[in-house]
Amino acid sequence: MDIQTLTFLFVGTSFALYIGIAIWAKAGSTSDFYIAGGGVHPVANGMATAADWMSAASFISMAGLISFMGYDGTVYLMGWTGGYVLLALCLAPYLRKFSKFTVPDFIGDRYYSQAARTVAVVCAIFISFTYIAGQMRGVGVVFSRFLEVDIISGVFIGMAVVFFYAILGGMKGITYTQVAQYCVLIFAYLVPAVFISILMTNNPIPQLGFGDMLADGSGIYLLDKLDGLSTELGFSEYTQGNKSMIDVFFITAALMVGTAGLPHVIVRFFTVPKVRDARKSAGWALLFIALLYTTAPAVATFARVNMISTINGPDGQGTLYEDTPSWVENWQQTGLITWTDKNEDGRMFYSGDERNEMSIDRDIMVLANPEIANLPAWVIALVAAGAIAAALSTSAGLLLVISTSVSHDLLKRNLMPGISDKQELRYARIAAAVAIGIAGYLGINPPGFVAQVVAFAFGLAASSFFPAIVMGIFFKKMNKEGAICGMLTGIIFTAAYIVYFKFLNPSANTADHWLLGISPEGIGTLGMLLNFSVALIVNRLTLDSPQHVQDMVESIRFPKGAGGVQAH
C-alpha cells in the first residue's frame, strides 16, 4: 500500500480507538468530567500525564528546533524536563493536599478572594489558548502532507475528533484516551529513530548512535561530520552554542517554571486516589517522558545530516531539479518547503549564506525524517499517526482546563454558586465546544511555528501562575493584594513584550533591541521576577493574610494522607 492509504488506515484506526474509549468512559458527573472520579491507576496516570505534557511541540517541533539550531535548541530539552521535575517534586504534593483541582480554585481559596480567582481564570484561559494554537497548527501540518488535504481541513478534522471525546468523556475519557495516545506516539517516535540509527551508525540505540561513528567505514563520528558540513555551508558548528548566556538562562528558566505553572498538567495529580499515588504517577510520567526526550537530539542529528546530503547531493554541489528527492517534492506541495533558483542553474542548494535557495519549515523535520531516510511506507504513516496523537492529547487537556475554568471556577465558584451538578456539567460541555471553535481558528491562523507558540505559553504561565503558587504554599503571610498585583504585572508585562516583538515590530526582534538581551521566548523569567517583586512589595504595604489562612497554608506543607478532592 502507498503512504497515503497506510496513513488513512493508521490515523483512522487510532481515531476509532479514541472515540471508542470516549464512549466507554463517558462522564456521568462533574467529578468524572473534571478529575476522572479520582480513581486512575498511577501507571495509567503516568502515561496520560506524559501524553498530556508531550504536545505537538515535543513530538513535531522540538527535534526540528534542535536540528536547525543545534546546541542552542537544547534549551527546550533542559527547560521542559527540568520543569516537570520541579512540578512533580516541589509543588504537586502540596497542591494535591490542598484538595483543589484547578489553579484558579487554589488561588481563589488560598488568597481568600473572588477577584484573585477571576484573574487566575483569565490567565488560565489566555495561557491555554496560546498553547492550543500550537497543537492545532501541528494537526494541520500533519494532515496537509500525509492525507493531502489543506491545513484548514486538517484542523477541522482534528477539532471534530477532540470535540467528541473531550465533551463526551471529560477528564475520564481524556485520561484513558491519552493512555492510548501515549502508546501510539512513543512507538511512532522510537521506531524510525531505531531504524535510522542502525542505518547510519550500526547502533540500535539512538541515544548512543548519534554520538557514534558512521557506518560507511570512514571512521568519522556523526557529529564531527555534521559540524564539518555546517561550517562548509555557512552555518555555525552544530555542537557550538551561539546564544548569549543570559538568554539561554532566561529561556531555560521560563520553560522550567512555566511547566510548573501549567494548569493542564497540575490537574493530573488529582485523578489518582491518594497523594502517594500522585507521587508514583509523577515518577512513571518522568520515565515515559524520558523515552522521547532522550531520543530527540538523535532524531534531530539524523534528520539534519540526511537532509543536507539529499538536497545538496553526494558531491555537495546541489541536486538537479529533475532529480529532486521525492520527500522534497512531497513537502513542496504543502508550501512548507520552497525553492528559488537564484543562479538559474537548475540545481537545488541548501546553505546558511547567500548561496541558499531553500526555505524549509523546521516543523517538518520529524515528520519528513522517515521519508528522507527512505524508510518503509508503514513507518512514515506511523509517524503521522503519532504526531496527531501528540497534538490531540495536549489539545484535549487544554480544552478541559478552559472548560473547567469557565464552568467551575467562574460560574460555580463565583458568579452562579447555586447551579446544580447537572447544570455545571452542561456549562462545562458548552464551554468546551466554544473553546474548540476558538482553538480551530488559532490553528488556522497560528502566531508562529509550533514550539515557538508553545514557548510563549510557558512564558505566560511562568510570569503569572508560578509565583502565586509558590508563595501560596511557602509564604503563608502573602495576601490577596500582593498575589493579584503580582499576577497582573507578570502576565501583562510578558504578553506586551511578546506581542511587541512578534507582531507589532517583528523587524526589531533581534538581540540588539531586546531588553537586557532577553528574547521573547525567555522574557517570562523576567515577568516572573517582576511578579515576585511586586507581590512582596504590595504585601509589605498591606495587611498580612488572615490567621486562618496562614494556619491552612501551614497544614498543607505536610502532604500526607489521601487529600480527597473537593469539587465544590
Per-residue pLDDT reduced to its tens digit, 9-40? 888 888 788 778 777 766 555 555 655 555 67
313, containing H or E segment: none
Please check whether residue 27 lies inside any domain of the structure.
no
Please count the structural domains in the chain: 1
- Round to whole Å and give the CA distance between 447 and 444: 10
How confident is the model over 111-133, as a mean pLDDT?
81
pLDDT the model gives residue 562 = 43
Position 353 pLDDT exceeds 90? no
Contacts of 530 (CB under 8 A, 6+ apart): 463, 486, 489, 490, 493
Query: Over 60: is that where the pLDDT of 66 sits?
Result: yes
What distance in Å separates the CA atoms of residue 494 and residue 496, rounded to the nearest whole number?
5
Residue 274 is assigned to a structural domain of this protein: yes
The DSSP letter of residue 477 is: T
Distances (CA, A) of 532 to 70, 455, 488, 489: 33, 21, 11, 10
Tell me the residue ranges of DSSP E strands in 113-174.
none
- What is the grid cell recorded at 360? 524549509
DSSP 353: S
Q: pLDDT for 282-291, tens place per residue?
A: 888 888 988 9
Q: Is residue 247 part of a domain?
A: yes
Say what the alpha-carbon torsion angle 336, 72, 255, 134 is, to the nearest 10 degrees: 0
Residue 80 domain flag? yes
Cβ atoms of 469 and 95 within 8 Å: the answer is yes
Left if phi > 0, otherwise alpha if psi is -120 to 50, otherwise beta: which for 207? alpha
CATH classification at residue 139 = 1.20.1730.10
Q: Is residue 477 part of a domain?
A: no
pLDDT of residue 81: 79
pLDDT at 535: 96
Contacts of residue 542, defined as CB under 8 A and 6 or more positions apart, other chains included, come to 479, 481, 482
Residue 528 and residue 462: Cα distance in Å, rounded? 6
Contact partners, residue 567, CB within 8 Å, separation at least 6: 30, 31, 34, 35, 101, 408
Q: Mean pLDDT for the chain?
A: 82
Evaluate whether residue 347 is within a structural domain.
Answer: no
Neighbours of 539 (CB within 10 A): 22
Listed ranges 196-210, 404-418, 421-435; the one with the highest mean pLDDT = 196-210
Alpha-carbon gap, residue 392 to 188, rounded angstroms: 15
| Whether the predicted pLDDT of 329 surpasses 90 | no
Longest CA–CA separation in the chain, Å: 78
Domain extent at residue 416: 3-15+41-303+375-463
480 part of a folded domain: no
Residue with cell 494532515: 143
pLDDT of 441-479, one tens digit each? Answer: 877 776 555 555 666 777 888 898 889 989 998 899 999
Selected residue with higher pLDDT from 262 and 474: 474
Identify the pLDDT of residue 196: 93
Q: Is 337 helix (H, G, I), strand (E, B) or coil?
A: strand
In the predicted model, is pLDDT for residue 406 greater than 70? yes
Give the tens place of pLDDT for each residue, 131-190: 777 677 777 777 777 767 777 777 787 777 777 766 665 666 677 788 888 888 898 899
67: burial class by Cβ within 10 Å (0-12, 13-18, 19+)? buried
How do strand 358-360 and strand 337-339 relate by DSSP bridges? antiparallel
Q: What pLDDT, in 10s, does the model give residues 540-564?
A: 999 999 999 898 888 877 645 444 4
Is 113 part of any domain?
Answer: yes
Amino acid in position 535:
A
Least Cα distance to 178 among 106, 315, 271 occurs for: 271
Measured CA to CA, the distance from residue 135 to residue 71 in angstroms comes to 25
